[in-house]
Structure 1
Amino acid sequence: MVQYVFTPWRDRAELLAVRRQFYPEQQQQHQFQNPKTRFCSDLRSGNDDVEDGHQDEKQKVVARVSMWMQRGGCPHMVESTALLTAAILSDEGNEGRGPGGCAGGDGSARASRGYAVRAAYSAAFSRFVTGLLDSHQDKQRKMSMYDVAKSVGLPATFVELRHQATHEQLPSLTRLRSAARQALGWIWGYYWAHLEPERAPSRVSGSGSLSAERFVVPVGAGGTVDGMGEFGSSRSRSKEEREVRLLVGRYLGGEDDDEVRGEIGRFEEGLVLMVLDSVPGRTGDSRVLRRAVRLAREIVEGGGLPERMEEDERPGEAVQVDLDSVRAELDSAWQQVKQVDEDEVVGDEGVAEVEMAEDRPAWTLYEEADWVPKPIGMV
């Protein structure tokens, strides 16, 4: 049974773009031998000018994740990354290191802003730890937060800081800053570092396993589909596959339907369906999508490719169905069934009467003179 997973992002490329905006300093996984310490040291020792250049991107990506949360289905690790990043940006803005910084003001104003930043750090960190551990909690056998944290590899200091931020006085700003950056490093190693680019789906036809890259782009000028002639690595592509791609591109571009459909009908159904299946991933043109869906539906529901479908519809090969004879056969079968049921009822009539007599209550007919009514409730 096919299970659909609904995500707030359009495709994997959009999710990977968000990862690049959250972690601009880390592009290769080999840079994270120890993500809990390496990430934090990079942030502390990085160039301030380069870091300031990423402020706008991080503001945008936080806003994008906020939109994902409104859509629903956003993973907890993505939300936690956005909340912790937002707290860091708010802290930097309060210190005057980010865009629109407001480090000035009297002592009471600075203290108020500092308290708000501590509250933002505490809320983001507590939500990160609580949501993560609750999702791994065993409903049948309750475990302590420390045990759950140990099972997922979360440092015990995170649980302690979460407890202090929730039930005690807010931790110091220095400790919260360090914990937020350590949490971002841990989230990278736990979630973001394991994301891989999306791979194209594969189809299996009569000739074996075939795979295709998503290659279709919106329709360009001249009535053809741009990119249909690009095959990527041609070493692993057969000649038939290239021909099918070119023909499908001509068909989706609006070329002569009958001629192109006839040429497409010369190839295997699985190969054609595989090519059509890759169309929606690379184009948003409604006309191209409608033509691709219509052709795939004809192949699947019609039981063959256009050329073979036309051959099946020729008068010489069509199967004539006599509806009258079918109705007569159905009536005859129904009469036989009714006759068998009547025979069974007649043969079991005596037994049925005895059984019914035993099941019936012992009612007796009284004469009016002998029967005396007794009102309910009277002795």
Structure 2
Amino acid sequence: MPKIIITPWRDESELLDVRSKFYPSSSLNSTPSPDLRPDACRIVEAWKLRGHLPHAVEATALLTDAILHDDATHNSVFSIRATYAAAFSRFVTGLVDTKLGSGGGGGTMFNRASMIGLPLSFVELRHEAAHRELPSLVLLRSYTNRALEWLWDYYWIRKLNGNCILDVGSRFAVYYRLSQNILNHPH
């Protein structure tokens, strides 16, 4: 008997469409294309209401939304830092708790993170944001982009690689877009 998996998306093509909005491969084209990341965030927000949303999908939306709110002309630097810190903390905490269960048997957050290949520096930054000073905007931007790269490798490729062949160009496009985001926000 086939195993039934309940998802908030209709079919895998809908998930692939959202993935391409978060990680557009057209970033290498000379013609600028519209930024579809806000659309992807709105779709994920609707999926969250339906339930059964994988944490990696929600975390991708939260981290991306933090990047989209990084506008000092409309938001204070403090609120931008707080948005990044909240998104990053939810990414780390939710991922570790979701994958290995919170409390008890899993050991420390560092142990649980290392079991799934999450960089320990991610746990350290989350701890700093939650229990100490808010990290600098430069650090939060950098780690948010690293987290999106990690989610690409950990979830988006692994989850969908069986049905979608990604060439080196697509992979490069992801890193190119993320590096452009870092270059556009140097401080």
TM-score (norm 1): 0.40
List runs of 5+ in structure 2 lacking aligned partners.
165-187
Residues 213-270 of structure 1, C-alpha deviations (whole Å, 9 max, x = no match): xxxxxxxxxxxxxxxxxxxxxxxxxxxxxxxxxxxxxxxxxxxxxxxxxxxxxxxxxx
**Residues 106, 112 of structure 2: 8 Å contact kept:** no
Q: What's the C-alpha RMSD, in Å, of the aligned pairs? A: 2.4
2:39 — aligned with what? 60
2:77 and 2:140 map into 1 onto residues whose CA distance is 12
List runs of 5+ in structure 1 lacking aligned partners.
27-41, 96-101, 104-111, 199-379
2:121 — aligned with what? 157
1:58 and 1:140 map into 2 onto residues whose CA distance is 37
Deviation of 1:142 (Å): 3.5
1:127 and 1:49 map into 2 onto residues whose CA distance is 35
Deviation of 1:145 (Å): 1.0
Deviation of 1:114 (Å): 1.1
2:93 — aligned with what? 130
Query: SS where residue 159 of structure 1 aligns?
Result: helix
Of 105, 130, 153, which aligns to 1:189?
Answer: 153
Query: SS where residue 171 of structure 1 aligns?
Result: coil
2:60 — aligned with what? 81
1:70 — aligned with what? 49
**Residues 83, 124 of structure 1: 8 Å contact kept:** yes
AA matched with 1:119: A
Q: Report the number of matched residues.
A: 161
Deviation of 1:148 (Å): 1.1
Query: SS where residue 48 of structure 2 aligns?
Result: helix
Residues 258-299 of structure 1, C-alpha deviations (whole Å, 9 max, x = no match): xxxxxxxxxxxxxxxxxxxxxxxxxxxxxxxxxxxxxxxxxx
| Rg larger in structure | 1
2:22 and 2:141 map into 1 onto residues whose CA distance is 17
2:78 and 2:117 map into 1 onto residues whose CA distance is 31
Residues 96-151 of structure 1, C-alpha deviations (whole Å, 9 max, x = no match): xxxxxx36xxxxxxxx6211111110111000100111123367623111111111
**Residues 13, 197 of structure 1: 8 Å contact kept:** no
Query: SS where residue 191 of structure 1 aligns?
Result: helix
| Aligned CA distance change for structure 1 residues 47 and 14 (closer, same or farther; 3 Å) | closer
2:23 and 2:45 map into 1 onto residues whose CA distance is 17
Q: Write out aligned runs for 1:16-35 (5 A).
A: 16-25=16-25
Q: Write out aligned runs for 1:155-304 (5 A).
A: 155-194=119-158, 195=160, 196-197=162-163
**Residues 41, 61 of structure 2: 8 Å contact kept:** yes
| Aligned CA distance change for structure 1 residues 115 and 48 (closer, same or farther; 3 Å) | farther
1:47 and 1:120 map into 2 onto residues whose CA distance is 31
